[in-house]
Amino acid sequence: MSEKRRDRRGRILHNGEVQMPDGRYRFKYVDESGKERAVYSWRLDHNDPMPKNKRKCQALREKEKQIQADLFDNIISGGGNMTVLDLVEKYVSTKTGVRPTTVAGYRTVISLLRRDSFGKKRIDMVRISDAKCWLIHLQKIEKRSFSSIHSIRGVLRPAFQLAVDDDLIRKNPFNFQLVEVIVNDSVRREALSRAEERKFLEFVRTDFHFNRYYEGIYILFKTGLRISEFCGLTISDIDFQEHTINVDHQLLKQSKIGYYIQETKTNSGTRVLPMTKDVEECFRKILKNRKPPKIEPMVDGKMGFLYFDKDGNICYSLHWENYFKHIVQKYNKIYKIEMPSVTPHVCRHTYCSNMAKSGMNPKALQYLMGHSDISVTLNTYTHMNLEDAREEIVRLKIV
């Protein structure tokens, strides 16, 4: 009868276990593909102390239990030796036919993981606490915004779910509520009051330099169009006979690909908006004063855009954001009472709030805004305060 193998402390070693000359323990096993593998540890049992000057590690028999459980459940051991970066790159490779803005978001996350040590971490070693600590690090140390971290987690969570579905890991470490981990420091876009809107529009209308943008800004305040939708409008989208605006695309621009046309943000974004007389008059003035270059630019088969810069380039969202920024700066430089932040998206918020305060049917407002979910219309874009509540109570004759 053969004598049982023991370690230096006299403990019986199991099949596959051995203590090496340097004192480390090794466990050999055959993985799901039939390949021989090995794991090591300075400790045999979880009660064993760590040798001096050695990095703390999991006990060998703890690793064995995990390996045996993984083999039983057909989980690929060691996460297939895949790192977080490897996993995200694999996930991104499965996402075909996505929008250029989404592709840019993927590139940002991959670039971050290439620089960050978290990207080198093996996926089966990532615990929920690790994922949470990393996101906290991104906010507190790297000073990334909540929206930026939300986008990063929006790539990592489905990537790890892919690993779960492929039996590389047991559970998704990013499957938790983000607001429970980091602080939502997003700045809420506030709608302008009716008085602020009037002051802003009057300032633009009477300013020698900025009055050339008055009609466009007025349309943004009175239609709730997204700035990319407004920039994408062409002459053929304005129907003066039916008094409507056709919204079925948006104009975008990226440094690597230039201008391009993309479908609306959601399916509900494709809509036909009714034009009021004042909005229609603004469009007529825009077309009258329109100064296209000698050769009109065409973007993905569309031409006849409404605004061009001094170099003959089509005006897109960044142009308008800069116009608004300079208008607010000039206004605040002249007047003691400062105008709050005004952007093209604030115009959209303001329009939605004004319509809601006027008592418009929520479903009609949802259509006009191009929202796929009514909760977005009601919760995100309507801005009510104490004075609005008082006016509503008076209107309903509650008091």
For position 319, what pLDDT does the model report?
96
Which carries the bigger pLDDT value, residue 373 or residue 122?
Answer: 122
For position 1, what pLDDT does the model report?
46
For residue range 193-252, list pLDDT tens digits in order: 899 999 999 999 999 999 999 999 999 999 999 999 999 999 999 999 999 999 999 999
Query: Which member of 249, 319, 371, 383 is catalytic?
Result: 371
For position 130, what pLDDT does the model report?
95
Residue 326, domain member (yes or no): yes
- Lowest mean per-residue pLDDT among 27-31, 56-60, 374-378: 374-378
* Same domain, residue pair 313 and 164: no
Structural domains counted in the chain: 3
* Same domain, residue pair 346 and 327: yes
Residue 371 annotated among the catalytic residues of the structure: yes
**Residue 21: exposed, middle, or buried by beta-carbon count in 10 A (0-12, 13-18, 19+)?**
exposed
Residue with tokens 């971490």: 121
- The pLDDT of 316-322, averaged and rounded, is 96
- Lowest mean per-residue pLDDT among 155-164, 259-268, 373-382: 373-382
Among residues 142, 157, 180, the one where a domain terminates is 180
Residue 203, domain member (yes or no): yes
Among residues 133, 151, 180, the one where a domain terminates is 180
* Same domain, residue pair 261 and 367: yes
Structure tokens, 139: 């906010």
* Same domain, residue pair 280 and 159: no
Residue 162, domain member (yes or no): yes
For residue range 139-153, list pLDDT tens digits in order: 999 999 998 999 999
Inform me whether the pLDDT recorded for 364 exceeds 70.
Answer: yes
Query: Which member of 226, 319, 349, 383 is catalytic?
Result: 226
Query: Which member of 25, 214, 323, 381 is catalytic?
Result: 381
User: Which residue pairs, CB below 8 angstroms and at least 24 apart, start in 275-280?
Assistant: 275/238, 275/243, 275/244, 275/245, 276/222, 278/218, 278/222, 279/218, 279/219, 279/222, 279/223, 280/240, 280/243
Residue 396, domain member (yes or no): no
CATH assignment of the domain containing 95: 1.10.150.130
Inform me whether the pLDDT recorded for 75 exceeds 70.
Answer: no
Residue 187, domain member (yes or no): no
* Same domain, residue pair 88 and 213: no
* Same domain, residue pair 226 and 288: yes
* Same domain, residue pair 261 and 340: yes
Strand partners of residue 39: 27
Residue 395 annotated among the catalytic residues of the structure: no
Query: Which member of 153, 249, 253, 348 is catalytic?
Result: 348
Q: Global pTM?
A: 0.68
For residue range 174-185, list pLDDT tens digits in order: 999 998 899 887
Provide the pLDDT confidence category of residue 31 given band limits of 50, 70 and 90. Answer: confident
For position 397, what pLDDT does the model report?
59
DSSP secondary structure, 135-177, as one string: HHHHHHTS---HHHHHHHHHHHHHHHHHHHHTTSSSS-TT-S-
Mean pLDDT of the chain: 88
Query: Which member of 265, 285, 302, 357 is catalytic?
Result: 265
For position 386, what pLDDT does the model report?
59
For position 399, what pLDDT does the model report?
43
For position 92, what pLDDT does the model report?
93
Neighbours of 179 (CB within 10 A): 10
For position 371, what pLDDT does the model report?
86
Residue 348 annotated among the catalytic residues of the structure: yes
Determine the structural domain holding residue 241 and report its residue range.
194-389
Residue 107 annotated among the catalytic residues of the structure: no
CATH assignment of the domain containing 30: 3.30.160.60
d(CA 213, CA 203): 11
Query: Which member of 122, 170, 345, 357 is catalytic?
Result: 345
- The pLDDT of 260-284, averaged and rounded, is 92
* Same domain, residue pair 219 and 337: yes
